[in-house]
């Protein structure tokens, strides 16, 4: 029994779609070879049935030899047993190939998503990631699924051609030459199908992105009355996907028609020639029976060839999309160009661009009339961007491994995201109770039927914005990082809750560095140091009450207070 995820999925080959698929085949070569072996036995035993029937007729019935009749009937029964057993095993290996290839590709995509981290949204769209994960990985798996029957079809075709050549060189030559011509005849149908599938796949990714973005911002859209505009846009994109789908269906219909017409014509030709030879006396009655059987059987390998061509075509389109995603590099390198010695715990944090100096162990608040400048500062302080020089204990963050930066400095931004799963797993193994109390989550737990064991929906959609914001804050507090940067952590809660969070945050984070970017007087009044940011530069520092005498500071803070 194969367990997933794979302990080591191996590295993919990103040089081309064909090389990518070949790499997948090589990584699971034993299951592929097993499926191919049983596929050969399964379809080969079917190919031998007409030959045995011919011998039953010629030697057993026409020759009136009861011993030969029994012997060939037993061979026929044996072929049936072999066919049944090998068919079961072939199917098991084929499904294993499909699942292994699908999940292996999914692991590569998942690992790349984790590796890109915050860079993911800057490299590709959400819809593209969803489409690759849900559609393209399956298409890769289906290409591996067809290897068992495809190989069996090739061997069975060669076996039938050999048997026909031994009985009638003309019929054997027709089969040997006709099947390659049949495969070539599918080329005109496959080429447009390939390009149209690629076009439909791209349009589908864009539509998925639009749908995802619309759902994520649905509350905002309703607030500004923008539903109609986005509905119109979604309808337009949907029609584009529909048109692309119709084009794919048109090419697919031509391919399906060719799958029926061309093998049918070929089988009719073989049957007609066999009947002519039987009338002329060139072949025996048993040979004629066998030829009819061969003609009927050849439909299976011929249709398998067209199915394989279709699945491989789809897999090549899918592999191109997968490669595009796996080829993206993070905005920030994992390994620094100039590695430096890690600074001591409890070191000051300094941003050269703004002039902000965050003293260790203090709760520092930053006020800015421009939310964009505040967010940019938060991203610099935690190295989600490499704009300017940010130093921890005199060491540039860019000179530290990114994993160390993520461990020591944690950012909670203005777009809190909760993951699917139980709330207990979401919060981790730290001081959960204290973190929940600090974030004022008591009412959130009371509203959840199973408390900490409640299963959260995707992005915690069953919760309000304020509930999600507080749970995300609790999750960050549970991690207990050396430096915690909070960008407007109380923007979605009421004033009473905000005041309690400010008091408890100061108490829980005592002795550890905390930076809060906010314009809330309730939070600013609990800060040890407040810095005023104007045009992205710190122009004043002090306590909240001291800075209230600064007109620039008061204009930002008191306007917020009046609005509250």
> What's the pLDDT score for residue 229?
65
Structure tokens at 312: 């491989």
pLDDT in tens, 168-205: 777 767 766 766 676 666 656 556 655 665 666 556 65
- Edge-to-edge strands, sheet with 349-351: 356-358, 349-351, 390-392, 395-396
| CATH number for the domain whose boundaries are 17-326 | 1.20.1560.10
279-299 average pLDDT score = 75
Peptide bond into 517 cis (omega under 30): no
Structure tokens at 564: 């509250």
76-83 average pLDDT score = 91
Are the CB atoms for 288 and 60 separated by under 8 Å? no
Instruction: Name the burial class of residue 482, with classes exposed (0-12), middle (13-18) and buried (19+) by CB atoms within 10 angstroms of its CB.
Output: middle
Are the CB atoms for 106 and 135 separated by under 8 Å? no
Q: Which residues fall within 8 angstroms of residue 159, CB to CB, at 6 or more apart?
A: 44, 47, 48
E-only strand ranges, 215-264: none
> What's the pLDDT score for residue 221?
47
Alpha helices in 327-356 (DSSP H): none
DSSP-based three-state secondary structure for 373: helix
Please, what is the average pLDDT of the chain? 83
- CA-based R_g, the chain, Å: 34
442-469 average pLDDT score = 83
Which of 376-385, 429-438, 458-467 has the highest mean predicted lDDT (pLDDT)? 376-385
> How many residues does this entry show for the chain?
564
Angstrom CA distances, 57 to 68, 167, 231, 476, 482, stand at: 10, 15, 70, 81, 87
65-73 average pLDDT score = 84
Please tell me if the domain spanning 17-326 has the same topology as the one spanning 349-563.
no
| Sign for the pseudo-dihedral over CA of 3, 5, 6, 8 | negative
- Domains of the chain, by residue range, sit at 17-326, 349-563
Are the CB atoms for 298 and 263 separated by under 8 Å? yes
Angstrom CA distances, 410 to 126, 403, 513, stand at: 23, 11, 11
Angstrom CA distances, 168 to 214, 271, 284, 287, 289, stand at: 67, 13, 11, 9, 14
pLDDT in tens, 385-406: 888 899 999 999 999 998 899 9
Indicate whether this model's pTM tops 0.75: no
Buried b / exposed e along 303-332 (16+ C-beta atoms within 10 A): ebbbbbbbbbbbbbbbbebbbebbebebeb
Residue 102 has pLDDT above 70, yes or no: yes
Angstrom CA distances, 495 to 154, 338, 438, 471, 476, stand at: 74, 46, 15, 17, 21
508-535 average pLDDT score = 94
CA dist., res. 414 & res. 487, Å (int): 6
Let me know the angle formed at the C-alpha of 453 by 449 and 454, rounded to the nearest 5 degrees. 50
> What's the pLDDT score for residue 564?
39
Q: Which residue has the higher pLDDT, 464 or 357?
A: 357
Residue 561 has pLDDT above 50, yes or no: no
Q: How far is CA 13 from the centre of its chain?
A: 17
Residue 291 has pLDDT above 90, yes or no: no
Q: Which residue has the higher pLDDT, 187 or 253?
A: 253
Residue 265 has pLDDT above 90, yes or no: no
Pairing of strands 421-422, 356-358: unpaired
Angstrom CA distances, 153 to 159, 179, 301, 378, 476, stand at: 10, 11, 4, 61, 58
444-464 average pLDDT score = 81
DSSP-based three-state secondary structure for 244: helix
Banded pLDDT at 32 (limits 50, 70, 90)? very high
> What's the pLDDT score for residue 173?
74
Cα first-last separation, the chain: 60
- Residues facing residue 412 across a β-bridge: 486
Residue listed under structure tokens 């072996």 = 37
Q: Which of 142, 149, 145, 115 is nearest to 129 (CA)?
A: 115
CA dist., res. 493 & res. 202, Å (int): 40
Pairing of strands 529-534, 363-368: parallel
421-446 average pLDDT score = 87
Any idea which of 146-160, 176-190, 308-322 has the lowest mean pLDDT? Answer: 176-190
Neighbours of 478 (CB within 10 A): 20
Considering the segment(s) 349-563 as one domain, its CATH architecture is 3-Layer(aba) Sandwich (3.40)
* φ/ψ of residue 315, rounded to 5: -65, -35
Share of the chain above pLDDT 70, in %: 84
25-52 average pLDDT score = 92
Instruction: Name the burial class of residue 230, with classes exposed (0-12), middle (13-18) and buried (19+) by CB atoms within 10 angstroms of its CB.
Output: middle
> What's the pLDDT score for residue 354?
94
> What's the pLDDT score for residue 449?
82
């Amino acid at each position: 029994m194969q367990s997933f995820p794979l302990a080591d999925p191996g590295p993919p080959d990103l040089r081309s779609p064909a090389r990518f698929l070949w790499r997948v085949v090589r990584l699971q070569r034993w299951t592929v070879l097993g499926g191919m072996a049983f596929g050969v036995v399964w379809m080969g035993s079917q190919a031998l049935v007409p030959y045995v029937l011919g011998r039953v007729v010629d030697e057993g019935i026409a020759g009136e030899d009861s011993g030969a009749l029994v012997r060939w009937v037993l061979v026929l029964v044996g072929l049936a047993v072999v066919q049944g057993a090998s068919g079961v095993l072939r199917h098991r290996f084929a499904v294993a190939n499909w699942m292994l290839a699908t999940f292996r590709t999914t692991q590569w995509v998942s690992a790349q998503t984790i590796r890109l981290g915050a860079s993911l949204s800057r490299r590709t769209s959400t819809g593209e990631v969803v489409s690759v994960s849900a559609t393209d990985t399956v298409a890769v798996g289906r290409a591996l699924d067809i290897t068992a029957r495809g190989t069996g079809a090739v061997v069975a075709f060669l076996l039938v051609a050999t048997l026909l050549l031994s009985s009638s060189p003309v019929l054997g030559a027709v089969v040997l030459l006709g099947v390659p011509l049949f495969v070539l005849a599918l080329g005109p149908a496959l080429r447009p199908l390939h390009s149209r599938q690629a076009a439909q796949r791209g349009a589908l990714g864009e539509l998925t992105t639009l749908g995802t973005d619309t759902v994520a911002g649905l509350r905002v859209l309703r607030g500004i009355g923008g539903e109609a505009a986005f509905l119109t846009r979604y309808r337009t994109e949907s029609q584009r996907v529909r048109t692309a789908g119709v084009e794919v269906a048109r090419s697919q219909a031509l391919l399906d028609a060719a799958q029926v017409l061309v093998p049918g014509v070929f089988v009719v030709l073989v049957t007609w020639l066999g009947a002519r030879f039987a009338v002329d006396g060139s072949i025996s009655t048993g040979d004629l029976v066998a030829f009819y059987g061969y003609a009927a059987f050849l439909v299976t390998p011929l249709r398998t060839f067209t199915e394989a061509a279709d699945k491989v075509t789809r897999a090549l389109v899918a592999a191109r999309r997968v490669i595009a995603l796996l080829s993206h590099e993070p905005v920030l390198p994992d390994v620094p160009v100039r590695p430096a010695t890690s600074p001591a715990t409890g070191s000051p944090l300094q941003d050269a661009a703004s002039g902000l100096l965050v003293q260790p162990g203090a709760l520092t608040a930053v006020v800015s009339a421009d939310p964009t400048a505040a967010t940019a500062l938060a991203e610099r302080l935690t190295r989600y961007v490499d704009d300017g020089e940010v130093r921890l204990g005199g060491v540039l963050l860019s000179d530290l491994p990114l994993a160390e930066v993520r461990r020591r400095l944690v950012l909670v931004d203005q777009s809190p995201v909760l993951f699917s799963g139980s709330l207990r797993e979401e919060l981790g193994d730290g001081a959960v109770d204290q973190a929940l109390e600090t974030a004022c989550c008591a009412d959130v737990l009371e509203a959840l039927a199973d408390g900490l064991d409640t299963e959260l929906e995707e992005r915690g959609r069953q919760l309000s914005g304020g509930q999600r914001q507080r749970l995300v804050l609790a999750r960050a507090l549970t991690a207990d990082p050396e430096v915690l940067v909070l960008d407007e952590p109380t923007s979605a809660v009421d004033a009473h809750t905000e005041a309690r969070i400010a008091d408890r945050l100061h108490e829980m984070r005592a002795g550890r560095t905390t930076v809060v970017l906010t314009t809330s007087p309730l939070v600013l009044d609990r800060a040890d140091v407040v810095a005023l940011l104007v045009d992205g530069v710190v122009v004043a520092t002090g306590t909240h009450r001291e800075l209230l005498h600064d007109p620039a500071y008061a204009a930002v803070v008191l306007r917020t207070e009046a609005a509250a």
